[in-house]
C-alpha cells in the first residue's frame, strides 16, 4: 500500500515548524513517530499534501522534573517512557500503560505527543492524562499556551489545537508517594486498541479512599473522566455495594461505538468491569 504523494519538510526549530504549519494551512500535518499517521496514509484515510517532520527539532524529547511536575517532551517515545527511571519512580502508571500500547517495534517510534495530540479515541495516553490532571504545552503562531488535558478533547480527531499549533510537551503533576494506580485494558490481541479501558489513581487513608480519579479509554468519542464514579468511591472502603454504585455511575457516561470490538452493550458492560478491576488493583498497591 502506497500513501498519497506529499511534500516533506524537516524544520530544525520549533519556530520554523510552526511557521511552516501556519503557512501551509489545512493541507499540512505534523509528523512525529508516524505510527498512527503512516498507516492512516497508507489506507488513504489521510492524504496530507505536506508533512512537517518534527523529529529534527532539538529539545522535544526527554523527561524532566520541574518541582512537583514531570514534564515529558512530545517526541519522547513509549520505549523511552519504559526506560525512564524518573517515570518509573514518579509515574509508574505511565509505564504500565505504555506496555499495553501497540507492540515493541511501534513503541520505539510512537511518541507520547502523537498519542495525546492526534485525538484518536482509541489512544491510551489521553485518558491517563485526564486521570492525572495533566496539562499540554502548545506552541503556535500566537506564542505558547497550556491547555488542561481535560479541556483538550472535543470529539474524535477534534482537539483544542489551533491552526499551526504544535503540542510540545505534557506536564503531569506527580501523584503523592504511596498513591495507588492501575490501568486495566481489555483488548483482543497485542497491538489492538482497547475494547474498553480504565485508569485509576487514588490515595488511601486508614483503609478508606482519600482521593480518587478515574479515566476511561475508547468508551466515547473522547477520553472521559468518570468524576461521579470517583466521588462515590471517595470515602469508602471499596465495599461491594459502593463499588457497584460507582461502576453504574461510570457506565452511565459511556457511549462507545459498536464496531469489530463489540456491541455498545458489550463494551459498556466490560467498561464497567475494567473500572471495578482498576479500582481494586489501585487500592491494593496503594501504600
Partner 1 sequence: MAKTHVKMKVNGAEVEGLVEPRTLLIHFLRENLNLTGAHIGCETSHCGACTVDIDGMSVKSCTMFAVQAEGADITTIEGVANADGTLSALQEGFRQMHGLQCGFCTPGMILRAHRLLQENPNPSEAEIRLGISGNLCRCTGYQNIVKAIQYAAAKINGTEFTEAAQ
Query: In the complex, which residues of this chain contact partner 1 (CB under 8 A)?
Result: 1-8, 10, 31, 34-35, 38-39, 41-43, 51, 53, 55, 79, 102-106, 108-109, 190-191
Instruction: Output the smallest distance, CB 104 to partner 1, in A.
Output: 5
Instruction: Output the smallest distance, CB 73 to partner 1, in A.
Output: 17
Instruction: Output the smallest distance, CB 11 to partner 1, in A.
Output: 14
In the bound state with partner 1, the residue whose beta carbon lies nearer, of 33 and 126, is 33
| Contacts of range 30-34, beta carbons closer than 8 Å, 24 or more positions apart | 30/54, 30/166, 31/55, 32/74, 32/75, 32/111, 32/113, 32/114, 32/117, 33/75, 33/77, 33/109, 33/110, 33/111, 33/114, 34/109, 34/114
Q: Are 72 and 114 in contact (CB under 8 A)?
A: no
The DSSP string of 97-118 is HHTTSS-HHHHHH-BHHHHHHS
Instruction: Output the smallest distance, CB 204 to partner 1, in A.
Output: 30
Q: How far is CA 195 from CA 23, 93, 171, in A?
A: 39, 19, 27
In the bound state with partner 1, the residue whose beta carbon lies nearer, of 79 and 267, is 79
In the bound state with partner 1, the residue whose beta carbon lies nearer, of 106 and 274, is 106
In the bound state with partner 1, the residue whose beta carbon lies nearer, of 34 and 215, is 34
Instruction: Output the smallest distance, CB 20 to partner 1, in A.
Output: 14
In the bound state with partner 1, the residue whose beta carbon lies nearer, of 6 and 266, is 6
Amino acid at each position: 500500500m502506497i500513501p498519497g504523494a506529499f511534500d516533506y519538510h524537516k524544520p530544525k526549530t520549533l519556530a520554523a515548524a510552526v511557521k511552516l504549519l501556519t503557512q501551509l494551512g489545512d493541507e499540512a500535518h505534523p509528523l512525529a513517530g508516524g505510527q498512527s499517521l503512516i498507516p492512516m496514509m497508507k489506507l488513504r484515510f489521510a492524504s496530507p499534501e505536506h508533512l512537517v517532520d518534527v523529529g529534527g527539532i532539538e529539545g522535544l524529547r526527554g523527561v524532566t522534573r520541574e518541582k512537583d511536575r514531570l514534564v515529558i517532551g512530545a517526541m519522547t517515545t513509549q520505549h523511552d517512557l519504559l526506560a525512564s527511571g524518573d517515570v518509573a519512580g514518579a509515574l509508574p502508571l505511565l509505564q504500565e500503560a505504555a506496555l499495553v500500547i501497540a507492540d515493541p517495534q511501534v513503541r520505539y517510534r510512537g511518541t507520547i505527543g502523537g498519542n495525546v495530540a492526534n485525538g484518536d479515541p482509541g489512544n491510551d495516553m489521553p485518558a491517563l492524562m485526564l486521570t492525572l490532571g495533566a496539562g499540554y504545552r502548545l506552541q503556535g503562531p500566537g506564542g505558547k499556551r497550556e491547555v488542561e488535558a481535560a479541556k483538550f478533547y472535543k470529539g474524535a480527531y477534534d482537539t483544542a489545537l489551533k491552526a499551526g499549533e504544535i503540542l510540545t510537551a505534557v506536564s503531569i503533576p506527580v501523584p503523592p508517594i504511596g498513591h495507588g494506580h492501575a490501568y486495566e485494558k481489555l483488548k483482543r490481541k497485542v497491538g489492538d486498541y482497547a475494547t474498553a479501558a480504565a485508569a485509576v489513581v487514588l490515595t488511601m487513608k486508614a483503609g478508606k479512599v482519600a482521593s480518587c480519579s478515574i479515566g476511561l479509554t475508547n468508551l466515547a468519542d473522547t477520553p472521559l473522566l468518570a468524576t461521579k464514579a470517583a466521588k462515590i468511591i471517595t470515602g469508602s472502603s471499596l465495599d461491594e455495594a459502593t463499588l457497584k454504585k460507582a461502576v453504574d455511575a461510570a457506565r452511565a457516561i459511556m457511549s462507545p461505538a459498536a464496531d469489530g470490538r463489540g456491541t455498545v452493550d458489550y463494551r459498556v458492560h466490560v467498561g464497567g468491569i475494567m473500572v471495578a478491576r482498576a479500582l481494586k488493583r489501585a487500592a491494593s498497591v496503594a501504600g
